[in-house]
Amino acid sequence: MKSETKPYKETLNLPVTRFEMKANLTEREPRMQERWREQDLYKQLRAARAGQSRKVLHDGPPYANGEIHMGTLLNKVLKDMVARSLSMFGHDSPYVPGWDCHGLPIEHKVVKDLGARAAHTSHADIRSLCRVEAMKWVDVQRSQFMRLGVLGDWFNPYLTLDPRYEAGIIDVLAQLVAEGYVERQLKPIHWCLSDRTALAEAELEYQESTTPSIFVNMLVKRGLPESLGVDGAVHAMIWTTTPWTLPANVAIAAHPDIEYAAVRYTPAGGGEPVQTILAVDLAAKVLARAGATDIVELGRCRGRALEHAVYSHPFLEREGRFVLANYVSVEDGTGLVHTAPGHGSEDFQTGMAYQLPVLSPVDESGRFTAEAPEWIQGQQVFAANKPIVEHIRASGHLVLEAPLSHSYPHCWRCKKPVIFRATEQWFIRVDHNRLRERTLEAIAQVRWIPEWGRTRIESMVSLRPDWCISRQRAWGVPIPALKCTGCGEQVLTAETLRHFRDLFRKEGSDSWFNRPAAEIVPDGLACPRCGKTEFEKEGDILDVWFESGASHRGVLASEFNLGYPAFMYLEGSDQHRGWFQSSILTAVGSTGRAPFETVLTHGFVVDDQGRKMSKSLGNYIAAEQATAKYGADVLRLYVSSMDYSDDVGMSERGVKEASESYRKIRNTFRYLLGNLEDYRDFDPATVDPLTLRAIDLYMLGKLNELVRDVRAAYERFEFYKVYQRIYQFCSVDLSSFYLDVLKDRLYAEARTGEKRRAAQFVLARLHDALARMLAPIIPHTAEEVWDYNKPGGGASVHLELFPEADPRFDDAARNQRWAQLLELRDKILVELEALRKSKQIGSAQEAKVTIHSDRLAATDLAGLLTEICIVSEVEIQAGHAGAEPRIAAERSAHAKCERCWNHRADVGQSAEHPTLCGRCVGVLVG
Partner RNA sequence: GGGCGUAUAGCUCAGUUGGCUAGAGCGCACCCCUGAUAAGGGUGAGGUCCUGUGUUCGAAUCACAGUACGCCCA
* Positions 584 through 623 that interact with RNA (CB under 7 A): 603-604, 606, 608, 610-612
Distance CA 176, CA 588 (A): 10
Which range touches RNA (CB under 7 A), out of 482-490, 679-687, 708-716, 822-830?
Answer: 822-830
Q: Does 664 bind RNA (CB under 7 A)?
A: yes
Closest separation in Å from C-beta 686 to RNA: 26
Out of 124, 383, 795, 830, the only residue in the binding site for RNA (CB under 7 A) is: 830
Residues 535-594 close enough to bind RNA by CB under 7 A: 572-574, 576-577
Closest separation in Å from C-beta 616 to RNA: 12
Closest by CA position to 554, among listed 63, 162, 131:
162
Which CB atom, from 842 or from 863, has the smaller least distance to RNA?
A: 842
The DSSP code sequence of 86-150 is HHHTT-B-----EEB--SHHHHHHHHHHHGGGGGGS-HHHHHHHHHHHHHHHHHHHHHHHHHTT-
Out of 210, 728, 877, 909, the only residue in the binding site for RNA (CB under 7 A) is: 728
Residues 12-31 close enough to bind RNA by CB under 7 A: 12, 14-15, 21-22
Closest by CA position to 397, among listed 235, 266, 254:
235
Q: Does 191 bind RNA (CB under 7 A)?
A: no
Which CB atom, from 229 or from 450, has the smaller least distance to RNA?
A: 450
Compute, in degrees rounded to 10, the torsion defined by CA atoms 5, 7, 12, 18. Answer: 60
Which range touches RNA (CB under 7 A), out of 141-149, 400-408, 552-560, 666-674?
Answer: 666-674
Residues 77-96 close enough to bind RNA by CB under 7 A: none
- How many residues of this chain interact with RNA, rule: CB under 7 A? 79
Q: Does 327 bind RNA (CB under 7 A)?
A: yes
Residues 305-324 close enough to bind RNA by CB under 7 A: none
Say if residue 450 is preceded by a cis peptide, omega within 30 of 0.
yes
296 DSSP β-pair partners:
264
Q: Does 837 bind RNA (CB under 7 A)?
A: yes
Out of 668, 789, 796, 872, the only residue in the binding site for RNA (CB under 7 A) is: 668
Closest separation in Å from C-beta 663 to RNA: 6
Closest separation in Å from C-beta 837 to RNA: 6
Which CB atom, from 294 or from 657, has the smaller least distance to RNA?
A: 657
Which CB atom, from 534 or from 677, has the smaller least distance to RNA?
A: 677
Distance CA 21, CA 18 (A): 9
Say if residue 565 is preceded by a cis peptide, omega within 30 of 0.
yes
C-alpha 100: how far from chain center: 15
358 DSSP β-pair partners:
none
Distance CA 79, CA 779 (A): 14
Contacts of 702 (CB under 8 A, 6+ apart): 729, 733
Out of 759, 832, 847, 887, the only residue in the binding site for RNA (CB under 7 A) is: 832
Closest separation in Å from C-beta 208 to RNA: 20
Closest separation in Å from C-beta 495 to RNA: 34
Alpha helices in 216-375 (DSSP H): 280-289, 345-354
Which CB atom, from 36 or from 546, has the smaller least distance to RNA?
A: 546
Q: What stretch of H or E contains 48? A: helix 41-49
Alpha helices in 229-310 (DSSP H): 280-289
Which range touches RNA (CB under 7 A), out of 313-321, 487-495, 527-535, 722-730?
Answer: 722-730
> Which positions from 462 to 501 touch RNA by CB under 7 A, shown as an x/- string?
----------------------------------------
Closest separation in Å from C-beta 642 to RNA: 3
Closest separation in Å from C-beta 332 to RNA: 15
Closest by CA position to 783, among listed 631, 626, 624, 633:
633
Which CB atom, from 611 or from 817, has the smaller least distance to RNA?
A: 611
Which CB atom, from 141 or from 845, has the smaller least distance to RNA?
A: 845
Which CB atom, from 91 or from 896, has the smaller least distance to RNA?
A: 896
The DSSP code sequence of 568-605 is EEEEEGGGGTTHHHHHHHHHHHHHSS-SEEEEEEE--E
Closest separation in Å from C-beta 540 to RNA: 21
Residues 333-372 close enough to bind RNA by CB under 7 A: 345-346, 349
Residues 861-890 close enough to bind RNA by CB under 7 A: none
Which CB atom, from 445 or from 609, has the smaller least distance to RNA?
A: 609
Closest separation in Å from C-beta 677 to RNA: 12
Q: What stretch of H or E contains 384? A: helix 381-394
Q: Does 69 bind RNA (CB under 7 A)?
A: no
Out of 352, 836, 867, 910, the only residue in the binding site for RNA (CB under 7 A) is: 836
Which CB atom, from 207 or from 455, has the smaller least distance to RNA?
A: 455
Using the 8-state DSSP alphabet, how is residue 233 labeled?
-
Using the 8-state DSSP alphabet, how is residue 344 labeled?
-
Residues 630-649 close enough to bind RNA by CB under 7 A: 641-643, 646-649
CA distances from 876 to 96, 845, 849, 853 (A): 65, 18, 8, 7
Q: Is 640 helix (H, G, I), strand (E, B) or coil?
A: helix
Closest separation in Å from C-beta 543 to RNA: 12
Q: Does 840 bind RNA (CB under 7 A)?
A: no
Residues 735-774 close enough to bind RNA by CB under 7 A: 735-737, 739-740, 743, 747-748
Residues 446-465 close enough to bind RNA by CB under 7 A: 452, 455-456, 459-460
Closest separation in Å from C-beta 522 to RNA: 37
Closest by CA position to 864, among listed 856, 594, 264:
856
Closest separation in Å from C-beta 727 to RNA: 6
Q: Check: CB of residue 541 under 8 Å from CB of residue 166.
A: no
Q: Is 253 helix (H, G, I), strand (E, B) or coil?
A: strand
SS3 per-residue string spanning 304-331: HHHCCCEEECCCCCCEEEEEECCCCCCC
Backbone phi, then psi, for 186, in 5-degree steps? -80, 140
Q: Does 629 bind RNA (CB under 7 A)?
A: no
Q: Is 398 helix (H, G, I), strand (E, B) or coil?
A: strand
Residue 156, Cβ neighbours under 10 Å: how many? 11
Which range touches RNA (CB under 7 A), out of 233-241, 393-401, 478-486, 670-678?
Answer: 670-678
Residues 362-421 close enough to bind RNA by CB under 7 A: none
Which CB atom, from 369 or from 455, has the smaller least distance to RNA?
A: 455
Closest separation in Å from C-beta 159 to RNA: 24
Closest separation in Å from C-beta 592 to RNA: 26
SS3 per-residue string spanning 148-207: CCCCCCCCCCEECCCHHHHHHHHHHHHHHHHCCCEEEEEEEEEEECCCCEEECHHHEEEE
Distance CA 6, CA 908 (A): 17
Q: Does 9 bind RNA (CB under 7 A)?
A: yes
Closest separation in Å from C-beta 839 to RNA: 7
Q: Check: CB of residue 748 under 8 Å from CB of residue 686.
A: no
Closest by CA position to 542, among listed 505, 507, 492:
492
Out of 205, 833, 875, 884, the only residue in the binding site for RNA (CB under 7 A) is: 833
Q: Does 823 bind RNA (CB under 7 A)?
A: no
Q: What stretch of H or E contains 541? A: strand 541-542
Closest separation in Å from C-beta 288 to RNA: 27
Closest separation in Å from C-beta 720 to RNA: 5
Distance CA 265, CA 278 (A): 13
Residues 890-909 close enough to bind RNA by CB under 7 A: 898-901
Which CB atom, from 577 or from 629, has the smaller least distance to RNA?
A: 577
